[in-house]
Structure 1
Amino acid sequence: MTPVWLFDLDNTLHNAGVHIFPHINRAMTVYLARRLDLSHEEASALRMHYWSRFGATLRGMVRNHAERPADFLAATHQFPDLGALLVFDRALLASLRALPGRKYIFSNAPRSYVDEVLRLTGLDHVMDGSFAVEDLGYQPKPQIRAYRAVLRRLKVPASRCIMVEDTAMNLRPAHCLGMRTVWITPHAAPRPLWVDLQLRNARQLRRGLRRIQTSAGGKS
């Protein structure tokens, strides 16, 4: 049976660490400082704490400050020229097309951002669909409700899915549900028990496919 691929977007299929994440981090820090009457240093520390604690700054703001998700995302994901900030290897498009099965984006980012990145990179012609944070009921990864929401929408069992992510902690719920998991990281690091395959970049997925399928082991 052909797999269903679930791809994270930022730092999995394109390099957001060079320009995009610094831009978002600055915007979030400014927003938190204004919204909560904090100094720049306090706001930056709180942003990082919420990301570490909840997997997304948005989650911490909603939980602890009754933040309206749409307002937060609109204020922190403004890009006058997103194309100028993108770092994307277009050779990845052919690598992804060569993978068997349906392919979907599974992102914590807002819909407007996801759609624009897909359009600018050409990934919209490779993917069969996408899930943004709005589609998850603003319950971002690693909240297990996000993964279950995707499975319900796709109407497939977790055992058919292969999740590809750069954030290792986001793969743990996927593994617990029965998905196969691929961790994309350019750094040498110990492979967590919930990761089936560790690769330096997504272009290596085709070569690693047999190992991913073999790693299913007792999963069914």
Structure 2
Amino acid sequence: MDIGLHQIGKLRHDANLRYLYQGPQKPRGRRRQYDGKVQFDDLSRLKWVREMEGVYIYTTVVHSVGLKRTIRITYLLKPDGHRLQTALLFSTDTELSAEQMYRYYKARFQIEFLFRDAKQFTGLSDCQARSKEALHFHFNAAMTVLNLLKLEDRQQASNSQGHVISIMSWKIRKFNAHLLQRFSEKLGLDFSLIKSHPAYETLQNYGATAA
């Protein structure tokens, strides 16, 4: 089913890729589509883009035999002492720039962390609804809570450099704060006075762990 989304991923260096034929066609007969297999020991047929963060970027549009479609590939080279590190990225969006593809692929780890934390701590996978609207609301609510926790953590961090967030600790703190508020309501206590007590911060952080 076509949902209007494009894929960005990584290919093996021996992936079966073919250059698209750009030359003149014969007046009669079947049109020529391809112009040889892509070989990465020869970069002359790839388009040089630029250098970013010590990484040399090449790109072109090719046909993937395995995916059975035309894709854009981005070939990355990074000198590392006497070694040369390489990576072959691809996107089903042939109009996507090589620089943008590189940035998107680099962000994949942060995206994976978001889904991991949302599943473990903000209930992303706990919804049992089946309607599209209900699922859409639930997924957005779970991710919104996670982003608000990250924002609050960043605002309270005294030194952002080297700071690591622990969503589990933030969940424990929020639960403790809610529990203290419930206790004060049931016991008829003034919660504003409890929040101003020096021990409130200690009770709120009870059970929280360092990141």
TM norm structure 1: 0.21
- Relative to its length, the structure with more strand (as a share) is 2
- Relative to its length, the structure with more helix (as a share) is 1
Per chain length, whose mean CA-contact separation is higher, i.e. which structure has more relative contact order (CA < 8 Å, sep 6+)? 1
